[in-house]
């Protein structure tokens, strides 16, 4: 998309790299992430107004440490180095970096030595988040100290003539009290970016781009029941109208009433052409006896493609396939996007593209999840769709640990309904990132009606998060947990025990599989 006010983030493998881009966008300035070794030509073609060097797990003096093209420091652009990015800046520009005697991790108090420019209107003493084991021993020529902590004599440095700034701490995390202000000082004042990145402007630009790309061709879009595919469908429909046909594959692994709810919303509210294919039996048959979560994912992904493909073949003059790919998917699924590891597999419909000779339309591939929700709201979509908790592509199959059978999925679905009902009744739904039930592959002894029982165990998972990249287990009131447990045991036949998952991410993932 065309935007002249934008910031480029070079990724050196930090777990917080995506957060940097998100924080910039929250300030209504567009930002993208490139791998650390992006060519200088690619960087120039992006035409950023400033560059941020992310943190990372390496040490600059290690063999094979990720290093950028040093021409990046000769572009005449403002540059902000964060943590490893600061050490990198010092290393590349003639300073010296060495292992610190004392590693600094967690909260620290920054004493600001220069309250202008990047620290403008920042408190003279402010809490920041440190995470490093190296230190700057000698400043590069032209740099001076603008902030320190008790443990780090050089916690921030600057070369104002070149507009180079560097921070040993992480301004992008919420634990840094005035991090947002610091980043905005860099973006607004030092890089001179204007806050023009809004969902309204995104819609206008996207509609124009989609129309130009699609021309007189028809477009098909797969609807999964989730937020991303629904918002994709509405945005593409705004651009091409009746030239869009949506295909909803009901794989039998959706939440209760989900297929009908999404179909009714898109058909009645937005007058869209939707074809619903009930393939429940087909998916469950293919999953019979499969316990490995990655095999489940692959089977469901491949089967979805086959069902979708068969239906798509019945639609004439199709030239494009619309997909709800998001920016984190782009980063995770492509190795050139930096040193960050791929955690889970993503499936798409690449085979269909080749067979039908289709081209892709991915209008959300620049957006994070929270931006998709804002986009949905701007498009007039109902809250029950856009604020729905994230739901995995393979659906309940990866919350049904072990064998996936109709009877086990039915038990899980009924338990999940109760979890969500009680969470909503308590006014907690919008405060949680996700809440759901998991059916465990074990049975438990219990006593019901003076009789011994040997039944299934349901685990309840509820987390709070800003973006899904990290998450804390939710401290749900005991009385709400009690209602959830009582209802599941009394109303869901085949369950006699309910447990609560109190694992944060990391070390655990949000989903169990």
Which pLDDT tens digit goes with each residue over 227-286?
Answer: 888 999 999 999 999 999 999 988 889 888 887 888 888 888 888 999 989 999 999 999
- Sequence-ordered list of residues with C-beta below 8 angstroms from that of 17, at least 6 positions apart, any chain: 9, 11, 33, 54, 55, 338, 340
- Range with lowest mean pLDDT among 124-138, 329-343, 424-438: 329-343
> What distance, in Å, lies between the first and last C-alpha atoms of the chain?
35
Active site residue 400: no
User: Looking at the domain assignment, is residue 462 inside a domain?
Assistant: yes
Q: Quick one: pLDDT at residue 369? A: 83
| Gyration radius from the chain CA atoms | 25
Mean pLDDT of 81-86: 94
Cα separation, 150 vs 469, whole angstroms = 31
- One of 32, 91, 148, 172 is an active-site residue; which one? 172
Q: Quick one: pLDDT at residue 61? A: 87
Handedness of CA 410, 412, 414, 417 (dihedral sign): negative
Which pLDDT tens digit goes with each residue over 425-466?
Answer: 999 999 999 999 999 999 888 877 667 778 899 999 999 987
CATH number at residue 303: 3.40.50.620
Which pLDDT tens digit goes with each residue over 294-311?
Answer: 999 999 988 888 888 888
Q: Quick one: pLDDT at residue 103? A: 67
Asked whether residue 168 falls in the same domain as residue 217, the answer is no
CA distances from 209 to 112, 177, 469 (A): 46, 39, 30
Beta strands (DSSP E) in 465-501 are 472-473, 495-500
Is 408 or 150 the better-scoring residue by pLDDT? Answer: 408
Confidence of residue 356 (pLDDT cuts 50, 70, 90): low
Confidence of residue 8 (pLDDT cuts 50, 70, 90): very high
- Residue 1 pLDDT more than 70? no
Number of domains in the chain: 3
CATH number at residue 473: 3.30.300.10
Asked whether residue 36 falls in the same domain as residue 184, the answer is yes
Cα separation, 441 vs 459, whole angstroms = 11
Asked whether residue 244 falls in the same domain as residue 175, the answer is no
Asked whether residue 170 falls in the same domain as residue 273, the answer is no
The domain boundary, picked from 170, 190, 210, lies at: 190
The parent domain of residue 415 ranges over 410-500
Asked whether residue 127 falls in the same domain as residue 223, the answer is no
User: Looking at the domain assignment, is residue 393 inside a domain?
Assistant: no
- One of 83, 191, 246, 400 is an active-site residue; which one? 83
Which pLDDT tens digit goes with each residue over 15-49?
Answer: 888 889 989 999 999 999 999 999 999 999 999 99
Q: Quick one: pLDDT at residue 221? A: 92
Is 33 or 134 the better-scoring residue by pLDDT? Answer: 33
Confidence of residue 124 (pLDDT cuts 50, 70, 90): very high
Q: Quick one: pLDDT at residue 513? A: 87
Q: Quick one: pLDDT at residue 354? A: 64
Asked whether residue 374 falls in the same domain as residue 424, the answer is no
From the annotation, which residues make up the binding site?
A: 224-230
Helix (H) or strand (E) holding 98: strand 96-112
User: Looking at the domain assignment, is residue 11 inside a domain?
Assistant: yes
Active site residue 191: no
Asked whether residue 145 falls in the same domain as residue 259, the answer is no
Asked whether residue 134 falls in the same domain as residue 166, the answer is yes
Take residue 80 and report the two structure tokens written for it.
């902000």
| Average pLDDT score, the chain | 88
- One of 170, 221, 303, 311 is an active-site residue; which one? 170
- Residue 79 pLDDT more than 50? yes
User: Looking at the domain assignment, is residue 398 inside a domain?
Assistant: no
Phi and psi, residue 471, nearest 5°: -155, 150
Confidence of residue 150 (pLDDT cuts 50, 70, 90): confident
Asked whether residue 58 falls in the same domain as residue 173, the answer is yes
CATH number at residue 149: 3.40.50.880
From the annotation, which residues make up the binding site for ATP?
A: 224-230
Active site residue 170: yes
Q: Taking the complete model, does pTM exceed 0.85, yes or no?
A: no
User: Looking at the domain assignment, is residue 401 inside a domain?
Assistant: no
Helix (H) or strand (E) holding 20: helix 17-26
Asked whether residue 208 falls in the same domain as residue 155, the answer is no
């Amino acid at each position: 998309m065309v935007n002249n006010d934008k910031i480029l983030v070079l990724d050196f493998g930090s777990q917080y790299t995506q957060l940097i881009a998100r924080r910039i966008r929250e300030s209504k300035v567009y930002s993208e992430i490139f791998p650390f070794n992006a060519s200088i030509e690619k960087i120039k073609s992006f035409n950023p107004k400033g560059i941020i060097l992310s943190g990372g797990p390496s040490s600059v003096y290690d063999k094979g440490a990720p290093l950028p093209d040093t021409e990046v420091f000769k572009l005449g652009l403002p540059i902000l180095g964060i943590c490893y990015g600061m050490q990198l800046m010092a290393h590349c520009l003639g300073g010296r970096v060495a292992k610190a005697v004392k590693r600094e991790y967690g909260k620290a108090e920054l004493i600001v030595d220069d309250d202008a420019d990047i620290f403008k209107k920042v408190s003279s003493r402010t809490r920041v988040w440190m995470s490093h084991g190296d230190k700057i021993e000698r400043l590069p020529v032209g740099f001076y100290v603008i902030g320190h902590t008790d443990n780090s004599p050089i916690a921030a440095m600057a070369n104002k003539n070149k507009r180079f700034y560097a921070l040993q701490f992480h301004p992008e995390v919420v634990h840094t009290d005035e991090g947002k202000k610091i980043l905005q000082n860099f973006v607004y004042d030092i890089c001179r970016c204007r806050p023009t990145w809004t969902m309204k402007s995104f819609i206008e630009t996207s509609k124009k781009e989609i129309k130009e790309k699609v021309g007189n061709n028809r477009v098909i879009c797969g609807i999964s029941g989730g937020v991303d595919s629904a918002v994709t469908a509405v945005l593409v429909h705004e651009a091409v109208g009746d030239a869009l046909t949506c295909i909803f594959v009901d794989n039998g692994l959706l939440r209760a009433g989900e297929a009908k709810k999404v179909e009714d919303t898109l058909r009645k509210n937005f007058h869209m052409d939707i074809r619903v294919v009930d393939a429940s039996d087909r998916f469950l048959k293919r999953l019979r006896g499969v316990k490995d979560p990655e095999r489940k994912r692959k089977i469901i992904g491949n089967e979805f493609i086959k069902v979708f493909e068969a239906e798509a073949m019945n639609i004439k003059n199709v030239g494009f396939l619309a997909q709800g790919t998001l920016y984190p998917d782009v980063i995770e699924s492509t190795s050139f996007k930096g040193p960050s590891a791929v955690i889970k597999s993503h499936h798409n419909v690449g085979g269909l593209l080749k067979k039908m000779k289709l081209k892709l339309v991915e209008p959300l591939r620049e957006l994070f999840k929270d931006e998709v929700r804002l986009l949905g709201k701007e498009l007039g979509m109902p809250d029950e769709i856009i604020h729905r908790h994230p739901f995995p592509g393979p659906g309940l199959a990866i919350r049904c640990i072990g064998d996936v059978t109709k009877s086990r999925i039915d038990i899980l679905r009924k338990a999940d309904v109760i979890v969500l009902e009680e969470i909503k009744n308590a006014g907690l739904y919008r405060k949680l990132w996700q809440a759901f039930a998991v059916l465990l592959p074990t049975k438990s002894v219990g006593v019901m009606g003076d009789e011994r029982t040997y039944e299934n165990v349901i685990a309840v998972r509820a987390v709070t998060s800003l973006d899904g990249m990290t998450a804390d287990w939710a401290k749900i009131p005991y009385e709400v947990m009690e209602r959830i447990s009582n209802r599941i045991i009394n109303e869901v036949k085949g369950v006699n025990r309910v447990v609560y998952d109190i694992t944060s991410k990391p070390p655990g993932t949000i989903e169990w599989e």
